[in-house]
Structure 1
C-alpha cells in the first residue's frame, strides 16, 4: 500500500489548441500515465493484479510469478515482484522492443521470448504449471482485479482532476485496448456515476477487438505492431457493452500522431499514445463541426524512450512499409483548422 500512497496520481495536461479552437468550446486533455515509477499506464494494473492474486491466496512467499505481456505490463509487474522478493518471468513476443526487455531485466525479471505473439498465453500457463507458480493472466483478470467504482482507479482520478475545468464532466474518454481493462474501468465508472460521458476505444490494424465489437469474425487477426494495444483475439477483459464507439486507426497514423505530439507539445510518448491522440483529435473535429461543446480526455500510455529502435527510427519504419506522410497531413490540418480529412 506504500506504493499506492506514493504514486496516487499522475498529471492531467490541458492541450493548448491553436487560435480558433478557443471559441469552439472543445477542450482536449492528456492524462500522463508515463509518470508512474515504472513509466506506463500498466503500473496501476500490475499493482491491482498482484493485490488480487495475494488476496485470493494465489501468491505467497517464494511464489514464481509468470505473465504473458507485450512489454509494459511485464515491466510494472517485475517491479512489484522485486518489491515482494518474488521471482518473475515475462513471456513476450520476440518483436517486443529491446528497451522493454532490458527494463524487465533491470527490475530483476527474466524474459522468455516466443516467435508468435499468439503463443504467449499457453507458454505462460505451461511455465507456471512446471514451477508450481502463478500465472497472473492480465488478459482475463484486468477487468475484475480493478475496483472500477473508485479506490485510486484511473477513472476516479480523471473525474477528480477535471472537477474545476470549464467542462468538468468529459464528453468523451478515448482509450486503446490491450487487455480491455482500461475501457472496462471507464465504461463502468461513468455508468456508476450516472455521467453522460461516452467511451471511445481506438484499435490499431490487425487487432481482434474492433471486429469483435462489430460482430465480425476475428479469424486471421495477427495482433498489432503498436505495442501495448491490439490483440490477436478479443480478450476476456474486453467488455464491448460498456464501450460507446470504436475507431480503427492505421499503424502509420499511430506513429505519425506520436511524432506529431512531440512536435506540437514537446511530449515524448509511444505509438499507443499516438493511436489515442489520432482518435481524440478526430472526435474533437467532429464536435467542432457539429457545434458541440465539451471536453475530451485521452491517455499518455508510456514514454517514447522505450521505442528508440522502432517507432522513433526512420529505418525501422521503412522496413515495416509505414509511410507517415498522409496521416501527418491529416493531423496538421486538424490542428490548424479543426477540419478532419482522414
Structure 2
C-alpha cells in the first residue's frame, strides 16, 4: 500500500461531505417477500433484500462507500491519489463511481473473463480496466500498479470487514432487522450470504451477536471456492481453483473472511446456482445474477431443514445484483451449456423443491 501525505483538510472535508450527500440522496433498498406457498403454509417465510437498486446496481455500492470513507479518514487518499482495486467487477464498478464523485483517477485490476457489461460500466464512470489472465494474479498486479502510480491500493479483500461499522450506522444488518420488524417472524432464523471478500458475513455476524439476536449466519459457497474448506479445517494456507460464479468465492483465503462469525457453510455446485438463478428470475418476473442463485440454493436447503424439523421461522438473503449484467453469459443458454454443461438435472431438483 502506498500512503499519501495527510490530505488537505479543506479537500478532505469536501470529499467526505460529497460522499455523505450522495448517501442521503439514496433510499434504502427494498425487502422482497418470496411467494413460496410450499414453505409459507408451514410457517416458513423467505425474503430477499434487493441490493440491485443501489446507484451502481449491486451490494458492492455499500462496500465501496465504506472503503472510500475508511481510506479518506486514515489519510491514505488525497486530491491527487490514483485509486487502484483488485476486483472481478461489481466492487470496481462501485469504486469507479465514488472515484469520479471525488475527481480521482481509478484503475480496476480484473481477470479477462469479467463480464463485458461490468467493464463497460467501469468505463462509463471514468475508470480504467487492467486485465490479468487468472483471478489469483489480481492482488500483486494491483499493488504494483498502485506503487508505480504513487497511488493507493484499496485492497477490498483486507479491509472489507473493518471498513464498515458493524454496530449499526445503517449498515446492511441494521437495515435488515429494521425492515423485518413487522413481519410474521421478525428475527430471522438464518441470514444467507455469499462471500467474496467476507465483509458482509463479518458485518452481519458481528451485528447479530452485538444485538443478542438468535439469528445464525450461513455462507453459500460456490463450487471451486476455498472458503468452505477453510471454515472446515481452519487452514489459512489452503488454495482452490477459484469460483466460476462471478462475484463470490475466492481461490485463496482472504483476510476479511472471519470463519468464527459464520455458523454454517453450504457448498453449491455451479449447475445448482444457474438453475436457482433461472427459477428465481421466473418467480420474481425479473432477472437476477448468478450469485443470487447461489444464495437461493442456501435458502431452500435451510427452509427444507426447518420444515422437516416441524419448526417455523424466516430466512433472509440478498439479491446481489440485477441479471441484465449477465445477459450474454449466465442468462444465455448456449454460453451456459459451453461453460457448465447440462443444467437440466439441477433445474429439476430446484423446481421440485419449489413445488413440493
Q: 1:234 aligns with which of 253, 257, 265?
A: 253
Cα-to-partner distance string for 1:268-300 (whole Å, 9 max, x where unaligned)? 111000000011011111111111110000000
* CA drift at 1:264: 1.7
- What is the aligned partner in structure 1 of residue 96 from structure 2? 78
- What is the aligned partner in structure 2 of residue 31 from structure 1? 49
- Consecutive unaligned residues of structure 1, counting only runs of 5 or more, are 338-342
Corresponding position: 1:151 with 2:169: yes
- What secondary structure is seen at the aligned counterpart in 2 of 1:96? coil
Structure 2 contact 167–210 (Cα < 8 Å) conserved = yes
Whole-angstrom CA distance in 2 between matches of 1:87 and 1:131 = 10
- What is the aligned partner in structure 2 of residue 340 from structure 1? none
Structure 1 contact 203–248 (Cα < 8 Å) conserved = yes
* CA drift at 1:220: 4.8
4+ aligned runs moved over 6 Å, structure 1: none
- What secondary structure is seen at the aligned counterpart in 2 of 1:170? coil
Aligned length: 336
* CA drift at 1:216: 6.6
- What is the aligned partner in structure 1 of residue 211 from structure 2? 193
Q: 1:94 aligns with which of 98, 103, 112?
A: 112
- What secondary structure is seen at the aligned counterpart in 2 of 1:246? strand
RMSD across aligned positions (CA): 1.1
1:21-60 alignment to 2 at 5 Å? Answer: 21-60=39-78
- Consecutive unaligned residues of structure 2, counting only runs of 5 or more, are 1-19
- What secondary structure is seen at the aligned counterpart in 2 of 1:302? coil
Structure 2 contact 270–340 (Cα < 8 Å) conserved = no
Whole-angstrom CA distance in 2 between matches of 1:76 and 1:152 = 18
Whole-angstrom CA distance in 2 between matches of 1:150 and 1:267 = 31
Corresponding position: 1:252 with 2:301: no
Corresponding position: 1:116 with 2:148: no
- What secondary structure is seen at the aligned counterpart in 1 of 2:233? coil
Whole-angstrom CA distance in 1 between matches of 2:340 and 2:32 = 33
Structure 1 contact 171–294 (Cα < 8 Å) conserved = yes
- State TM-score, norm by structure 2: 0.93
- What is the aligned partner in structure 1 of residue 4 from structure 2? none
Q: 1:176 aligns with which of 172, 179, 194?
A: 194
Q: 1:305 aligns with which of 319, 324, 333?
A: 324
Structure 1 contact 92–113 (Cα < 8 Å) conserved = yes
Whole-angstrom CA distance in 2 between matches of 1:56 and 1:216 = 31
Whole-angstrom CA distance in 1 between matches of 2:27 and 2:161 = 20
Cα-to-partner distance string for 1:217-252 (whole Å, 9 max, x where unaligned)? 664512111011000111000000010000000011
- What is the aligned partner in structure 2 of residue 262 from structure 1? 281
* CA drift at 1:62: 1.7
- State TM-score, norm by structure 1: 0.96
- What is the aligned partner in structure 2 of residue 127 from structure 1? 145
Whole-angstrom CA distance in 2 between matches of 1:220 and 1:31 = 31
* CA drift at 1:22: 3.0
